[in-house]
Amino acid sequence: MDNYSEAEKQIMDCLLSYTRGIDRLDPDAITAAFHPGALLEGYQPDVFTPIEDFALPVVERLKKRYSSTQHRLSNTKIDFTEEGAIAESYVLAYHVQPANEDTPERLWTFSGRYIDYFENRNNEWRIAERFLRADWTRIETIDEKMPNKFIAGARDKSDPVYGQISN
């Protein structure tokens, strides 16, 4: 069971490295979740993109289009097979589109699943192939915000998550 525990920990670390990378616009954190040459399919059927061609372009698109994003994972189930492991994770992703002269500020919500095929290479469990599936989406106008004053998170390595822990 210890081997499974370590494998499950590595798999969860990969899934969370990906979500941190997407939300903090960190292509290195995104690619750390994948084996080199890993393939992603999700925006067009049967079109697979190598992770090396995905990470930086997706960061640039998110940076240009949204003022913040938040990707949440839940209901992760990991099944081990003779070839590796298959992890299914529900994803709920929020994207805030800033207002411009034509549209008000909007919240884009995506609900779907990541279906990840993991392989263990050189004692490292990482994603070898990812499928993204949509269950539902919604776009709504942000008419009003909470009156509290919160410190905004940074979408880069200036965010406290990348800093040193104070003792």
Q: Which CATH number fits domain 2-94+111-134: 3.10.450.50, 1.10.260.40, 3.40.50.2300, 3.40.50.1820?
A: 3.10.450.50
90-134 pLDDT, tens per residue?
A: 999 999 999 999 999 999 999 999 999 999 999 999 999 999 999
> What value does the CA radius of gyration of the chain take, rounded to a whole number of Å?
17
58-69 pLDDT, tens per residue?
A: 999 999 999 999
What pTM value is reported for the model? 0.91
18-46 pLDDT, tens per residue?
A: 999 999 999 999 999 999 999 999 777 88
pLDDT range class, residue 148, cuts 50, 70, 90: confident
Residues 156/136, Cβ–Cβ less than 8 Å: no
Domain positions in the chain are 2-94+111-134
Which tokens go with 155? 């979408």
- Of residues 147 and 44, more confidence is placed in 147
N- to C-terminal Cα distance for the chain? 35
